């Protein structure tokens, strides 16, 4: 931003107005922004009583996240701090925005399963504690520092302060979790464990609400909500195929790459992808036999490779007398069920020919024999 206007008092509170210099660009409009985002939630302790200063302060780390949207905590209207007022109005149960409330709640849960997860917070705390402890120990030893500007301090104050910080973090972890319960401000049930996986491994990624999950299977804990999923392939080799849910019914068709569920209990969610380059009839993708006895296993004969991305497909099957007993032009169909003219075909060996064009447009053919066993 080339043009910049700022009140010196507002600068102290990290609030500013700015605009771009090029009037032909969208940035020519004035913008309001904060460097210190806690100010948006009034988590500030301003020094001074001027008209433009924030009039509220919070002296501890136990402020409930419910305070803004329930209106139990007065939001300052000064210091150009309109964010809190916006939150109050968006959260209003009668005149607010339901979509915003859902997104806000889901984002909070996403953070509780990521950066705000107690395990992650404590890892960061331990890292900082160890990092600064080296410096603090050095300050206790006059021989550790040399040259002008050196100073000596005691580490016991640091130890006490860090111990208090650690206790505050652990307390807040438990405190925040309780705000999502039926007795808390969100009035939801849970939490329930959820596992998200991808098949085959490495074929793609899943976005859960607002977060792209990086490792699979991924495990988290969520309270009841309307939960969304989006799947994308990791490269051009794969294409999304369908979703699988253990305990929930998708609001959208399972073949959609983006779906939502009303989350109310534990679940194992899987995004299934198709390998577009896997030859439909290549290698060992055609079985040598099948048993159409209705037991749900190996009841159909057909190629096992991906048939979603082939064209000009046709599979023809003949009995030992040269009669055509089956023909299909649908590569995604189950295949031959072992019947002919509505009657069960006898045990024996049958000949087949499969022709198609693969994903690259190349003509392919596979032929051989398959044994029908009952």
* Class of 289-372 in CATH: mainly beta
Estimate to the nearest angstrom the gap between the alpha carbon of 224 and the chain centroid.
Answer: 16
What digits encode the pLDDT tens for the residues 84-97? 667 777 777 777 78
Question: Which pair of structure tokens corresponds to residue 5?
Answer: 């206007």
Write down the pLDDT at residue 79: 43
Longest dimension (CA), the chain: 103
**How far is residue 374's CA from residue 62's CA, in Å, rounded to a whole number?**
70
Strand pairing partners for 254? Answer: none
DSSP letter for 138, please: H
Q: What is the DSSP string of 243-291?
A: EEESS---SS-TTSSEEEEEE-S-EEEEEEEEETTS-TTSTT-S-SEE-
Write down the pLDDT at residue 369: 97
Q: Could you state, in order of their start, the residue ranges of all structural domains in the chain?
A: 3-96, 118-178, 192-275, 289-372
**In the predicted model, is pLDDT for residue 134 greater than 80?**
no
What are the angstrom distances between the C-alpha of 57 and each of 32, 53, 190, 373? 22, 11, 33, 80
Name the CA dihedral angle for 119, 125, 127, 129, rounded to a multiple of 10 degrees. Answer: -150
Mean pLDDT computed over 175-189: 76
Comparing 317 with 168, the larger pLDDT belongs to: 317
* In contact, 113 and 173? CB cutoff 8 Å: no
Mean pLDDT computed over 334-351: 95
Write down the pLDDT at residue 63: 67
* Its pTM surpasses 0.85: no
**In the predicted model, is pLDDT for residue 46 greater than 80?**
no
What digits encode the pLDDT tens for the residues 265-283? 999 999 999 888 888 887 6
Q: Note if the bond before 101 is cis, omega within 30 degrees.
A: no
**In the predicted model, is pLDDT for residue 290 greater than 60?**
yes
Q: What is the DSSP string of 314-339?
A: EEEEE-TTS-EEEEE--TTS--B-SE
Write down the pLDDT at residue 8: 28
DSSP alpha helix (H) spans, the chain: 8-12, 67-70, 83-91, 98-112, 118-140, 155-178
pLDDT band at 72 (very low <50, low <70, confident <90, very high): very low
**In the predicted model, is pLDDT for residue 131 greater than 60?**
yes
**How far is residue 306's CA from residue 279's CA, in Å, rounded to a whole number?**
7
* In contact, 182 and 189? CB cutoff 8 Å: yes
User: How does the average pLDDT of the chain come out, rounded?
Assistant: 79
């Amino acid at each position: 931003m080339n043009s910049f206007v700022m009140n010196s008092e507002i600068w102290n509170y990290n609030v500013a107005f700015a605009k771009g210099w090029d009037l032909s660009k969208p940035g020519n409009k004035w913008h309001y922004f904060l460097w210190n985002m806690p100010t948006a939630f009034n988590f500030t302790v301003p020094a001074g009583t001027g008209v433009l200063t924030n009039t509220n302060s919070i002296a501890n780390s136990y402020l409930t996240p419910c305070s803004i949207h329930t209106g139990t905590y007065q939001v300052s209207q000064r210091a150009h701090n309109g964010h809190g007022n916006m939150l109050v109005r968006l959260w209003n149960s009668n005149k607010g925005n339901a979509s915003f409330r859902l997104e806000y709640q889901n984002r909070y849960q996403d953070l509780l399963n990521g950066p705000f997860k107690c395990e992650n917070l404590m890892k960061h705390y331990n890292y900082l504690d160890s990092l600064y402890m080296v410096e603090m120990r050095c300050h206790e030893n006059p021989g550790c520092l040399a040259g002008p500007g050196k100073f000596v301090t005691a580490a016991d104050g640091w130890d006490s302060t860090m111990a208090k910080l650690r206790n505050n973090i652990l307390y807040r972890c438990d405190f925040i979790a309780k705000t999502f319960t039926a007795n808390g401000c969100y009035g939801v049930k849970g939490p329930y464990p959820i596992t998200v996986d991808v098949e085959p491994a490495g074929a793609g990624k899943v976005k859960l609400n607002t977060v792209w999950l990086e490792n699979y299977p991924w495990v988290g804990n969520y309270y009841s909500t309307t939960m969304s999923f989006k799947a994308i392939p990791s490269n051009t080799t794969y294409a999304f195929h369908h979703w699988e849910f253990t305990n929930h019914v998708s609001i959208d068709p399972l073949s959609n790459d983006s779906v939502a569920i009303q989350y109310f209990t534990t679940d194992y969610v899987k995004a299934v992808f198709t390998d577009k380059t896997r030859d439909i009839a290549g290698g060992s993708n055609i079985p040598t036999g099948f048993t159409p006895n209705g037991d749900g296993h190996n009841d159909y004969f057909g190629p096992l490779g991906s048939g979603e991305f082939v064209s000009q497909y046709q599979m023809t099957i003949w009995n030992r007398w040269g009669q055509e007993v089956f023909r299909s032009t649908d590569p995604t169909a189950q295949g031959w069920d072992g019947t002919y003219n509505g009657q069960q075909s006898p045990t024996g060996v049958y000949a087949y020919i499969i022709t198609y064009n693969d994903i690259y447009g190349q003509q392919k053919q596979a032929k051989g024999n398959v044994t029908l066993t009952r």
